[in-house]
Amino acid sequence: MKKFFLEIDNVTFTASAKNKVNNVSFQIENKGDIICLLGPSGIGKTTILRTIAGLERIDSGKITLNNRVISSNDTYVEPENRNISLAFQDNSLFPHYNVIQNIEFGAERNKDKKKNLNINEVIKFLHLEHIKDKYPHQISSGEAQRASLARSLLSNPDLLLLDEPLSNIDQNFKEEIQVKLKKILTEHKITTIIVTHDSYEAFYLGTKCGIILDGQLKQYDDPYNVYHFPNSIEVVNFLNRGTLIPAKVTGENTLESLDLGTIKGNFIKHYPKGSDVKLLIQPEDLEHDDGSNLKLEVVDRQFRGTNFIYTLKTPSNLMIPVFVHSHHIHQHEVDEKFGIKRPINIDHIVCF
């Protein structure tokens, strides 16, 4: 039987009587993997981290870390004996110690272990130099979050749990910290579970992503697959990355849509000819072509820096998103007609 670094086996995570994530199973295969859990607010993501850390107990299932059962119906290892570190989303710094003393609390743990992170290096990468001597009430929530992250990183845990670690951090620092955080986690092989509601953060940091919706772990897969091959309508809606339009399967590689005509591509799942399906159209699936005879009405245009996302209205009032590179020669205004290149070819066809 294959041994996993962390195994969550059929565990129900209970945040409250009404708010549960039921029968969750997933594994972290290797030491040093980074897992991201995505889901809307209040769904129970934090509860999952708290339970793995040992701050909540479980009634069913089993959690195994490094071949040791740490939580089950009859086993419970106290949080202080798990060597798991959790960086909380809110300020959890000790209020009567300054920032550097707080961080040193982390460094003190497991200080005999080899491959320790350098405290100064962590302080520098998290931009904490100027607040080292300040007390928690004297710093901003973003700074507190970074200090808390530093403390957790330096504690050199077997498993690091990060709860929305960058949620309060300024946008200008965020991307830089994301890059450096990933580098540190990977270089030091720190196995990590990150909870976030930012899908881009999850896709960048995670070697695997879990999507939690409606009290269930809906999908657990590589970020690419989660994005391109969502396994349910709920995941599509959560990622908000496309539109489902009605279509009929007309052959091995073709579909027919009332609004878009013939669509070709590779089905990721087999559907019998003649089936009525809902086809996922993602913004990058359609191409703009001013010369095309398939014209749709522009109802909105969002500038996203590197590209525009046009929202187009079909004759049957469906709203379809389309990417256009922002260097495109001209822009289309609302109410104008917008051409879609034909024939439509989609690399992988996702239907439900």
Partner 1 sequence: MFFKKINIWYLSSFLISLIVAIPILTVFSSFFDTTGNYSIILKNTFLYEYIFNSLVLLIGVLTLTFLIGVTCAYLVSFYNFPGVNFFKWALILSFAVPAYIYAYSLTAFFENYGTAFSILKNIFGEANYNSYIPKFDGMTGAILSISFSLFGYVYVLTRASFHYQSQNLIELGKNLGFSKKKSFLNIILPSARPAIVAGLSLVAMETLSDFGSVSFFGVSTLTTGIYNAWISFDDLALANRLSFYLLIFILGLFILENFSRKKAQYHTPTKSGLKKKMLIDLTGRKSFLAFSFCALVFFVSFLFPVLQMLYWTISFPKHLVDLNLIKLFSNTMLLVILSSILLISLSFISNYGNRVTRSKLLGVLTTFSVSGYAIPGIILAVAFITFISWFDNNIISFFGLKTIKSIFIGSVFGLILVYFIRFYSLASNGLKSGYLKINYSIDESAYLLGYSKLKTFTNIHLPYLKNSMLLIGILITIEIIKELPITLIMRPFNFETFATTAYIFASQDLLEAAAAPSLFLIIIASFFILITSRYILKD
Residues at the site binding partner 1, with contacts judged by CB under 8 A: 50, 53-55, 57, 59, 76, 78-86, 88, 90-96, 105-106, 108-110, 148, 151-152, 155
CB of 162 to partner 1, least distance (A): 12
Closer residue to partner 1 (CB): 78 or 335? 78
CB of 62 to partner 1, least distance (A): 17
Closer residue to partner 1 (CB): 109 or 197? 109
Both structure tokens of 191: 């196995």
The phi and psi torsions of 38 (rounded to 5 degrees) equal -115, 150
Task: Name the DSSP letter for residue 343.
Answer: S
CB of 189 to partner 1, least distance (A): 20
CB 36 within 8 A of CB 201: yes
Q: How far is CA 256 from CA 63, 82, 106, 230, 253, in A?
A: 47, 56, 59, 21, 11
Closer residue to partner 1 (CB): 53 or 286? 53
CB 267 within 8 A of CB 254: no
CB of 350 to partner 1, least distance (A): 40
Euclidean distance between CA atoms 149 and 136, whole angstroms: 14
- Counting Cα atoms < 13 Å in the Cβ hemisphere of 250 gives 13
Euclidean distance between CA atoms 192 and 82, whole angstroms: 14
CB of 203 to partner 1, least distance (A): 27
Closer residue to partner 1 (CB): 51 or 314? 51
